[in-house]
A and B are shown apart, each in its own frame.
Chain A
Amino acid sequence: MTVADVLLLALGAIAVGSGALVVTSTHLVRSGFYLVVSLGAIAGLYLVLGAELVAWVQVLVYVGAVVVLLLFAVMLTRAPIGPSADLDRPALPAAVIGAGVGLGLTALFVDAFRWTRFPSPDPGTAERLGEQIFGAWVLPFEVLSILLLSALVGAIVLSRPDIGARKAEDA
Chain B
Amino acid sequence: MPLWLDLLIRVAAVMAGFLVLPLVIGQAEHKVMAHMQGRVGPMYAGAFHGWAQLIADGVKFVQKEDITPRDADRTVFRLAPIVALFPYLVVILTIPLGPGLVAQSLDIGLFLVLAVLGIGVVAVLMSAWASANKYSLLGGVRGAAQLLAYELPLVLAAASVAMAAGTLSLPGIVEAWRPWWLIWQAPAAFIFFIAGLAEIRRPPFDMPIADSELVFGYMTEYTGLRFAFFLLAEYVGIVVIAALTTVLFLGGWHGPFEEQLGWLWTLLKIFALSFVIIWFRVSYPRLREDQLQRLCWLILVPLALAQLVLTAAVKSLL
Contact = CB atoms under 8 A, between A and B. Distances in A.
Interface of A: 27, 29-30, 33, 36, 52-53, 56-57, 59-60, 63-65, 67-69, 71-72, 75-76, 79, 81-82, 125-126
B115 A64 contact: yes
A123 to B, nearest CB: 9
Given A60-B114, A72-B141, A75-B141, A67 B122 contact: yes
A68 B122 contact: yes
A64 B118 contact: yes
Nearest to B114: A60
A38 B107 CA distance: 26
A75 B125 contact: yes
Contacts of A79: 129, 137
A63 B118 contact: yes
B127 to A, nearest CB: 12
Interface in B101-124: 106-108, 111-112, 114-116, 118-119, 121-122
A59 B118 contact: yes
Contact of A52 (B107, B121, B122, B137): B107
The B interface, classified by DSSP as helix, strand, loop or mixed, is helix
A53 B108 CA distance: 7
Contacts of B231: none
Interface string B274-302: 00000000000000000000000000000
A162 B155 CA distance: 32
Contacts of A76: 141
Contact of B144 (A27, A33, A53, A68): A68
B145 A72 contact: yes
Contact of B148 (A29, A63, A65, A126): A65
Interface of B: 71-73, 76, 106-108, 111-112, 114-116, 118-119, 121-122, 125-126, 128-130, 132, 137, 140-141, 144-145, 147-148, 151, 155, 168
A63 B151 contact: no
Contacts of A126: 107-108, 111, 168
B163 to A, nearest CB: 12
A59 B111 CA distance: 10
Contacts of B145: 72
Contacts, number: 80
Given A56-B112, A75-B137, A63 B107 contact: no
Contacts of B137: 75, 79
Contacts of A57: 111, 115
A126 B141 CA distance: 34
A81 B118 contact: no
Contact of B76 (A33, A53, A59, A69): A33
Most buried by B among A29, A68, A126: A68
Nearest to B169: A126
A82 B119 contact: no
Nearest to B131: A81
A63 B122 contact: yes
3 nearest CB pairs, A to B: A64-B118, A60-B115, A59-B115
A30 B121 CA distance: 15
A125 to B, nearest CB: 6
14 contacts: A30-B76, A33-B76, A33-B122, A33-B126, A36-B122, A56-B108, A57-B111, A60-B155, A64-B115, A64-B121, A65-B148, A67-B122, A72-B144, A75-B129
Contacts of B76: 30, 33
A125 B72 CA distance: 43
Given A71-B125, A76-B141, A82 B73 contact: yes
A27 B116 CA distance: 26
Given A71-B125, A81-B129, 19 more contacts: A30-B73, A52-B107, A59-B116, A60-B114, A60-B155, A64-B115, A64-B118, A64-B122, A68-B144, A69-B148, A71-B144, A72-B125, A72-B144, A72-B148, A76-B141, A81-B71, A81-B130, A81-B132, A126-B111
A62 to B, nearest CB: 10
A64 to B, nearest CB: 3
Contact of B108 (A52, A67, A75): A52
B79 to A, nearest CB: 9
Given A75-B125, A126-B168, A59 B119 contact: yes
Nearest to B162: A126
